[in-house]
A and B are shown apart, each in its own frame.
Chain A
Amino acid sequence: MTAPAPTGIDAATDALRQVMLATPRRGSALLRRSLGHSGLVAGGVMLVAIVAVALAAPLIAPHDPYNQDLARRLIPPIWHAKGNWEHVLGTDKLGRDYLSRLVFGARISLLIGTLTVLISGTIGTAIGVCAGYFGGRVDAVLSYVVTTRLALPVVLVALASAALVGGSLQGVIVVLGLLLWDRFAVVTRSATQQIARTDYVAAARAIGCSTLRILLSEILPNILNALIVVATLEMAHAILLEAALSFLGLGVQPPLPSWGLMISEGKQYMFFSPWVIGIPAAALVCLVLAINLVGDGLRDVTAPENRD
């Protein structure tokens, strides 16, 4: 005799169990595609390495990055004839261990990159999505704001604001965050305009979805692709801008080990001790390259067209 057919909630969970067993888990497909993308893997490995180094800075750094020892000024790195193993990457003009400063400097660059992008991304996306979705007068006003911002020379404004506020880590983050949102706005605006015209947004409105729900649940996930690419570009942009500001003395203040500051402090020794600017410059290049590779790779593997 067969058991009586399950009813109500039991039927629902039974059906669900059957369904879950039958469909392939979608996470694994994404992972497979990611591992197959050489740019993403290369960039990912580099970025993870840099982040790991930044996080583990206190454990990795052989010395205190702030510890000055004027007796040990400008010792060259290990590949030089006069290098020694105690200071693998040499020391700077104040005798501080370069490797330690480099490793702690990674924290600063990553911190600035991430926080700046979070602030500018939020501002820019909000402006762009509203302009693209509502159109009409809202779009006209917001586009005017964006155009005004685009007309400003970023570096000069950053310099002026930094001079006003005084150079500091928080200052740099706030100034860059409030300035670098333009590309976000422009890209999300055109992406939103395309999405807003689709039938599925019309269907969502016909179902009775509130505007907020449509913006968050129909539009945002579909502009994510474009957003990721812009976010990585802007992160790299912010890191380089901070380096520039710090180089000019208006960004992070000494004795913090910002890579830009390290380049600035070493500029007078450029010809005799090239490693003083060479090493932090190389680190900047690696970080920016890694970020861009990851951004491009993520955009490639998450495009909906790639879903089988």
Chain B
Amino acid sequence: MSETLLELRNVTRVFKLSQGVFRRAETLTAVANVSLQVKRGEVFALVGESGSGKTTLAKMLLGLLPPTSGEILVGGKPIGAKDRVAVSGRVQPIFQDPYSSLNPRKSIAQLIILPLVVHGVGDRASRRAKVVEMLDLVGLSRRYYDAYPGQLSGGQRQRVAIARALILRPEVVICDEPTSALDVSVQAQILNLLLELKRELGLTYFFISHNLAVVEHLADRVAVMYLGRFVEQRSRAGLFAAPRHPYTRALLDSVLTPDPDLGVPDTRIGTLTIASESGCPFQPRCPSAIDICRTAPPAIRTLRSGWTTCHLVEEEAVPVP
């Protein structure tokens, strides 16, 4: 049984949006009662569109945002605000936008060396050697050592971000849409690099993406997020063979493979992206909604390869091991 590196227990995050001096602040529940476990050596993919809360979840996993309620555990130990430095040695991020994730005023070497400096690892000479080692590892020419981000392409910048994330040899890497802003050919290079590094360094990935084709290629387990809640969590094979939640089905139908004989699918989900007050959050858009969906929030239905929250799904008996 693989060790659990990262865990969230009933984590909720609520934002208060000030409406000015004279009106009461509105609350926005970005993440609602999410629980998950990331095991060592796996790729756990989180799928969600804009407004799903996936970025807020990532920030909480990185210790950048405290949860309003619930616990976050790294290596089995709950973390608080004071543990941020310790946690940072074990959990590191790779962000989506290669143009805003690197300080434009710092050289590549200064960017990659920062984690070593902050954590007081090694001396000047050994740190420089490590930076060169990381450049080799991510496939960047050493002549970029003193270059500035402005001189590098998107793909090259993302490699720098990867080098920076891995220099402390973290156990978990939180990848927040690391290839969404890149060209197709560059995306393939970076994904290949991520797979290779995972094998070489024994990494665990928490991979956030809206691109289901990429998720199918990389993930071991997948969770689908909608308006702050997990609506389905399955093994990769289980989810792609038989998606159960209507939202997951719509997402999967929206994946456009380069097949000229197929047209554009009609997913039949509505355009209203606000949650309903009661009942299932997806109900306003769901093509299969029934009466109970409007009134009662759906309970967890266990499936053979995971679970989902939908009134229309029957429970499946989990085979006894």
Contacts and interface: CB of A to CB of B under 8 A. Distances in A.
Q: Do they bind each other?
A: yes
Interface string B142-162: 111111101100000000010
Given A222-B103, A307-B151, A206 B63 contact: yes
Q: Give the interface size class of chain A.
A: 20 to 34
A199 B95 contact: yes
Contacts of B142: 15, 18-19, 22
A11 B128 CA distance: 11
B118 interface: yes
Interface centre among A23, A203, A224 (most CB of B within 10 A): A203
A135 to B, nearest CB: 11
Contacts of B105: 221-222, 224, 304
Contact of A209 (B63, B114, B150): B114
B103 A218 contact: yes
Given A15-B142, A200-B102, A307-B148, A207 B132 contact: no
The interface residues of chain A, by DSSP majority, are classed as helix
Interface string B88-108: 110111011100111111100
A22 B140 CA distance: 14
B59 interface: yes
Interface string A217-231: 010011010000000
B115 interface: yes
B241 interface: no
Contacts of B144: 23
B38 interface: no
B47 interface: no
A18 B142 CA distance: 9
Given A13-B125, A202-B93, A213 B64 contact: no
A307 B150 contact: yes
A209 B64 CA distance: 12
Contacts, number: 102
B39 interface: no
A275 B59 CA distance: 67
Contact of A11 (B64, B119, B129): B129
Given A199-B100, A200-B101, A19 B93 contact: no
A18 B135 CA distance: 14
B62 interface: yes
Contact of A207 (B88, B100, B125): B88
Interface of B: 59, 62-64, 84-85, 87-89, 91-93, 95-97, 100-106, 114-115, 118-119, 125-126, 128-129, 132, 142-148, 150-151, 161, 164
Which 6 residue pairs spanning A and B have beta carbons closest together? A12-B129, A208-B88, A199-B101, A208-B85, A304-B104, A221-B105
Given A12-B129, A203-B93, A304-B150, 7 more contacts: A9-B129, A12-B126, A15-B132, A26-B146, A199-B95, A199-B96, A200-B101
16 contacts: A11-B129, A15-B129, A19-B145, A20-B146, A23-B145, A199-B100, A200-B101, A203-B101, A207-B115, A208-B84, A209-B114, A221-B106, A224-B105, A304-B148, A307-B148, A308-B150
